[in-house]
């Protein structure tokens, strides 16, 4: 990963301190991400793309009458307690008017239930994918720019069956992310005739999973589906499976689409490993985002960077429409995503968005990851693809339906 992206992780927490000294007129937005923990390798690129949106806003007029949009960054560490603590600080101490994040589903659910829903603060997660987020009694304040894993799990099941993989073993992390994916996958895979030879949860960050893997292998399938994180216990399971010859083929979802397995195990040892992940639909907006992100040292193919950018840009538009009033941001977000026939706004076009909002004209945000119209639960549909490991990292294999 580019040195600029890696350096971001070391400076993100400092941004919170800097924000505390900002002018009174500045408008604060919370960015909560998994800076430490099992997605630490993914988080810097996601946060960099969010930061790019904030930079664009401030370079093109800022919020309201020229107020700066100031980021308050917190580490959700991809767990519920840290997510709650980071959200508490952002909302109750720093005074943010909206939150982008947390990154991980368990942290999203905990932060929403404990902090943002009671406070009436809008929250948009770019990567919290658990189906449980859909069920939150959130008073219409929780949204996401990434589809629910109910979509991804079922799409992956259809893709595997379509590739002639008629039986698999499933290992899933015992948290909101892993459980949601695994259950959606299982329901769809079995409904279309697939056989699951073993289906087992595991706890994260154990030193070894050889016993778990040996049990999973007893079912006789040569394919292991791992719903976990490639920076954490998912990597350990993958490594030990290869070392002990438990399985021949390996499949992951977006959490496994990390550089960590490639760096740790070597691309040449992962030619039977592939993952699913949400992708942006090909569009002018995606091309604009990709160019702009490359220009600041980002990798536009990194997982969740498009959804992170879009979540931040959408939040900024909602804050602008709400006049910086935190109690009106969620309602404003609904209003600016209410139609697909509004004036189009693309990534980087903050001055245009600001002008349209001031004129009261309807907007259709054509984001890096697609157009956005949230359903009644704050969810969006999605497009997915399969990725394999190549010489240059993950390479797209095919779209999934």
pLDDT at 8: 46
Can you spell out the DSSP letters for 324-363? T-GGGHHHHHHHHTS-SSSEEE-TT-HHHHHHHHHHT--E
Which residues, including other chains, have CB under 8 Å from residue 360's CB and lie 6 or more apart? Answer: none
H-helix segments, 27-92: 43-59, 80-88
pLDDT at 401: 79
């279309």: which residue's tokens?
Answer: 192
Which residues, including other chains, have CB under 8 Å from residue 40's CB and lie 6 or more apart? Answer: 9, 34, 231
% the chain with pLDDT above 90 = 89
pLDDT one-digit tens code per residue, 178-222:
999 999 999 999 999 999 999 999 999 899 999 999 999 999 999
List, in order of start, the domains of the chain with CATH numbers: 3-148+282-371 (3.40.50.2300), 150-279+383-400 (3.40.50.2300)
Q: Kindly indicate the confidence band of residue 281, based on its pLDDT and cuts at 50, 70 and 90.
A: confident
Counting Cβ atoms within 10 Å, is residue 150 exposed (0-12), middle (13-18) or buried (19+)?
buried
pLDDT one-digit tens code per residue, 41-75:
999 999 999 999 999 999 999 999 999 999 999 99
Which residues, including other chains, have CB under 8 Å from residue 139's CB and lie 6 or more apart? Answer: 117, 120, 330
Taking CA atoms, 9 is separated from 6, 41, 209, 262, in Å, by 6, 9, 29, 21
pLDDT at 17: 39
Residue 299 has pLDDT above 60, yes or no: yes
pLDDT at 383: 81
Residue 231 has pLDDT above 80, yes or no: yes
Q: Kindly indicate the confidence band of residue 382, based on its pLDDT and cuts at 50, 70 and 90.
A: confident
Three-state SS sequence of 202-243: ECCCCCCCHHHHHHHHCCCCCEEEEECCCCCHHHHHHHHHHH
Question: What is the gyration radius of the CA atoms in the chain, in angstroms?
Answer: 21
Find out whether 91 and 30 touch, Cβ atoms under 8 Å: yes
pLDDT at 329: 98
pLDDT at 21: 38
pLDDT one-digit tens code per residue, 122-137:
999 999 999 999 999 9
Residue 6 has pLDDT above 90, yes or no: no
pLDDT one-digit tens code per residue, 11-48:
444 444 334 433 447 999 999 999 999 999 999 999 99
Q: Would you state the torsion angle of the CA atoms of residues 218, 386, 203, 208, taken in this order, to the nearest 10 degrees?
A: 60
- The whole-number average pLDDT for the span 239-267 is 96
- Average pLDDT for the chain: 93
% the chain with pLDDT above 70 = 94
Q: Kindly indicate the confidence band of residue 282, based on its pLDDT and cuts at 50, 70 and 90.
A: confident
- The whole-number average pLDDT for the span 336-364 is 97
Residue closest to 19 by CA, chosen among 94, 75, 98, 100: 94
Taking CA atoms, 269 is separated from 1, 62, 254, 262, 390, in Å, by 20, 48, 20, 9, 11
How many CB atoms are closer than 10 A to CB 339? 12
Q: Kindly indicate the confidence band of residue 391, based on its pLDDT and cuts at 50, 70 and 90.
A: confident
């Amino acid at each position: 990963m580019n040195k600029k992206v890696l350096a971001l992780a070391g400076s993100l927490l400092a941004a919170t301190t800097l924000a505390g000294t900002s002018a009174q007129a500045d408008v604060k937005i919370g960015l909560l991400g998994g800076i430490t923990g099992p997605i630490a390798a993914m988080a810097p690129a996601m946060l960099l793309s969010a930061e790019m949106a904030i930079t664009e806003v401030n370079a093109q007029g800022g919020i309201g009458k020229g107020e700066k949009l100031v980021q308050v960054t917190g580490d959700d560490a991809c767990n519920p307690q840290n997510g709650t603590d980071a959200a508490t600080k952002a909302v109750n101490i720093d005074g943010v008017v909206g939150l982008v994040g947390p990154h991980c589903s368990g942290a999203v659910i905990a932060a929403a239930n404990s902090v943002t829903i009671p406070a009436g603060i809008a929250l948009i997660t770019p990567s919290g994918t658990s189906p449980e987020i859909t069920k939150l009694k959130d008073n219409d304040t929780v949204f996401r720019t990434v589809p629910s894993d109910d979509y991804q799990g079922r799409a992956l099941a259809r893709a595997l069956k379509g590739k002639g993989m008629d039986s698999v073993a499933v290992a899933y992390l015992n948290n909101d992310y892993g459980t949601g994916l695994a259950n959606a996958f299982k329901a769809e895979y079995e409904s279309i005739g697939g056989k699951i030879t073993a289906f087992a949860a595991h706890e994260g960050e154990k030193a070894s999973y050889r016993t778990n893997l040996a049990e999973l292998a007893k079912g006789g399938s040569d394919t292991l589906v791992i719903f976990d994180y490639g920076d954490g216990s998912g990597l350990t399971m993958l490594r030990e499976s290869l070392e002990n010859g438990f399985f021949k083929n390996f499949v992951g979802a977006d959490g496994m689409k990390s550089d960590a397995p490639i760096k740790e195990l070597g691309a040449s040892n992962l030619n039977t490993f592939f993952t699913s992940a949400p992708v942006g639909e090909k569009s002018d907006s995606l091309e604009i985002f990709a160019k702009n992100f490359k220009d600041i040292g980002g990798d536009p193919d990194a997982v969740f960077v498009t959804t992170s950018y879009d979540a931040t840009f959408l939040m900024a538009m909602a804050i602008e429409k709400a006049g910086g009033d935190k109690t009106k941001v969620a309602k404003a977000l609904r209003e600016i995503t209410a139609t697909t026939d509004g004036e189009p706004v693309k990534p980087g076009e903050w001055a245009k968005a600001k002008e349209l909002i001031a004129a009261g004209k309807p907007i259709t945000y054509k984001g890096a990851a697609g157009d956005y119209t949230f359903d009644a639960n704050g969810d969006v549909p999605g497009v997915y693809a399969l990725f394999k490991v190549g010489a240059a990292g993950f390479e797209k294999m095919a779209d999934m339906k």
